[in-house]
């Protein structure tokens, strides 16, 4: 039989999992609402569809992104 501490620990775990699920759902909704650009805002080159799908809201091509991060 579980004691009060076990019950509290189990309840805390359930609440934490529910909160994380809500957080992940909210982040997923936020990402899908971001429109990606078809062309790089820096150089004007096309941004490949695979990159636009992988990085929602992408604004730069890979080359310009690497230069920005360098």
Question: Residue 55's domain spans which residues?
Answer: 35-70
> 25: pLDDT confidence band, cut at 50, 70 and 90?
confident
Distance of alpha carbon 41 from alpha carbon 53, whole angstroms: 17
Q: How many structural domains is the chain composed of?
A: 2
pLDDT (0 to 100) of residue 70: 87
Q: Does the predicted TM-score (pTM) go above 0.75?
A: no
Please determine, for residue 24, whether its predicted confidence score (pLDDT) is greater than 90. Answer: no
Statement to judge: residues 43 and 64 lie in one domain: yes
Residues 54 and 28 in one domain: no
Say yes or no: 46 and 70 in one domain. yes
Q: Are residues 53 and 69 in the same domain?
A: yes
Place of tokens 């096309």: 46
| Phi-psi label, residue 46: left if phi above 0, alpha if psi -120 to 50, beta otherwise | beta
Token duo for residue 42:
């820096």
Reading the block at residue 59, the tokens are 């604004």
Task: Answer yes or no: do 41 and 24 share one domain.
Answer: no
């Amino acid at each position: 039989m579980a004691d009060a501490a076990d019950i509290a620990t189990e309840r805390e775990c359930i609440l934490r999992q529910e909160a994380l699920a809500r957080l992940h759902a909210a982040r997923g909704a936020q990402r899908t609402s971001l429109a990606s650009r078809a062309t790089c805002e820096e150089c004007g080159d096309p941004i490949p569809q695979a990159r636009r799908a992988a990085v929602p809201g992408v604004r730069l091509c890979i080359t310009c992104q690497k230069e920005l991060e360098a």
